Amino acid sequence: ETASKEGYPHFMIKEIHESPRAVKDTIDSLMSDIDLVEKVIEEIKNAERVIVIGAGTSYHAGLYFSIELNRLGINSLPIIASEYYNVRSKKGDLVFAISQSGETIDVLQGIRMMRNSGAKIISLTNVIESAIARESDYKIYMRAGPEIGVAATKTFTTQLASILFILSVLKKENLKKMEKAPDIVRDTISQVEGLTKKIGEELAKKSNIYYLGRGLSLPLAMEGALKIKEIAYVHAEAYPAGESKHGPISLVEKGFPVVIINDGELTELLQNNLMEMKARGAKIYAISVNKKMKDADVEIELQSEIPALSIAPVIQLIAYYAAVTKGYDPDKPRNLAKTVTVE
């Protein structure tokens, strides 16, 4: 390994701390290539349907994007890359492929199939001229720099930043907000290190966890659950909070940990779910941005103009501290590969 940890115990924590810089470089690069962003937005507006495809962490960023597009009245379908064969794509479809490495085979297979049926392809990757980028009509790059830790961290945050930037231009918002993105990520990290460590240490002792979210906080809950599962080997399941009544709640008993991702948008509805879980004895960990919850056992309270960019490092830090508490190397989780090139 030629890359250096620069004094950090693991690449993962170093890379989380690099996120503000990665986000800055990504936003700067998108700003300087605003023509490309405008062209991509034209394609999005003219498309009959925007199919968003990705695997693992990249799928979660894609789901976030797809929810936002649908809310804007743009017909969008999020798909998990390995299930690409279910989609009947056609001319008029636009495919938005998200992949850190740009090499994930399922994403490649998916875009090849959809291109063959006449769809146009936009890619968002972190590796210049990666396989997925090469097979795309439009190539957008994140500027996260190399990521050594197997579990995606700074690349997820830069995927979100790229998506939020595109959405911001699409909504004709003032881009000043996106210019603040690096500081938002930096401020969050400096505020939450202590509490995320405490939560990570507690969750490390558990064998099951629910991560609940609603709306845009659902893909973040899914990412939180994936992260702690992949590096701390704790079984964690993400669920749409309202849907948790239809099954998951039956497992909840005294001390069962429930992490609620509250991005400040649907707090009242999440509050109902919190109370339902709490009534069964759940221990509630709330990650709240801009609006507090009531009766959480532990709450990380943040103020943020871009909630998703504050929640991303929080869920990553919790997973990191859970893994190190259990003595695992978060950079090299067992059975996982950085890039999956077999179907």
Active-site amino acid positions? 338
Closest distance between ligand G6P and the C-beta of residue 330, in Å?
A: 12
- Applying the rule CB under 6 A, the residues between 102 and 141 that interact with ligand G6P are 104, 107
Q: State which amino acid sits at residue 9.
A: P
Q: Closer CB to ligand G6P, residue 174 or residue 335? A: 335
3-state SS record for the chain: CCCCCCCCCCHHHHHHHCHHHHHHHHHHHHHHCHHHHHHHHHHHHHCCEEEEEECHHHHHHHHHHHHHHHHCCCCEEEEEHHHHHHCCCCCCEEEEEEECCCCCHHHHHHHHHHHHCCCEEEEEECCCCCHHHHCCCEEEECCCCCCCCCCCCHHHHHHHHHHHHHHHHHCCCCCHHHHCHHHHHHHHHHHHHHHHHHHHHHHCCCCEEEEEECCCHHHHHHHHHHHHHHHHCCEEEEEEHHHHHCCHHHHCCCCCEEEEEECCCCHHHHHHHHHHHHHCCCEEEEEEECCCCCCCCEEEEECCCCHHHHHHHHHHHHHHHHHHHCCCCCCCCCCCCCCCCCC
Residue with nearest beta carbon to ligand G6P: 56
Q: Closer CB to ligand G6P, residue 55 or residue 178? A: 55
Question: Out of 13, 53, 55, 181, which residue is the one contacting ligand G6P (CB under 6 A)?
Answer: 55
Q: Closer CB to ligand G6P, residue 68 or residue 331? A: 331
Q: What mask, x for binding ligand G6P by CB under 6 A, covers residues 141 to 160? A: ---------xxx--------
Closest distance between ligand G6P and the C-beta of residue 90, in Å?
A: 25
Closest distance between ligand G6P and the C-beta of residue 57, in Å?
A: 3
For the record, the structure tokens of 138 come out as 């439009």
- Applying the rule CB under 6 A, the residues between 318 and 337 that interact with ligand G6P are 336
Cβ count near 72 (within 10 Å): 13
Q: Does 316 bind ligand G6P (CB under 6 A)?
A: no
Distances (CA, A) of 166 to 46, 162, 172, 176: 15, 6, 10, 14
Q: Closer CB to ligand G6P, residue 62 or residue 257? A: 62
Closest distance between ligand G6P and the C-beta of residue 220, in Å?
A: 14
Q: Closer CB to ligand G6P, residue 17 or residue 60? A: 60
- Applying the rule CB under 6 A, the residues between 69 and 108 that interact with ligand G6P are 99-101, 104, 107
Q: State which amino acid sits at residue 86.
A: N
Q: Does 57 bind ligand G6P (CB under 6 A)?
A: yes
Q: Does 56 bind ligand G6P (CB under 6 A)?
A: yes
How many residues in the shown chain lie near ligand G6P by CB under 6 A? 16
Closest distance between ligand G6P and the C-beta of residue 14, in Å?
A: 16
- Applying the rule CB under 6 A, the residues between 231 and 260 that interact with ligand G6P are none
Q: Closer CB to ligand G6P, residue 132 or residue 192? A: 132
Closest distance between ligand G6P and the C-beta of residue 194, in Å?
A: 26
Residues near ligand G6P, by CB under 6 A: 55-58, 99-101, 104, 107, 150-152, 336, 338-340
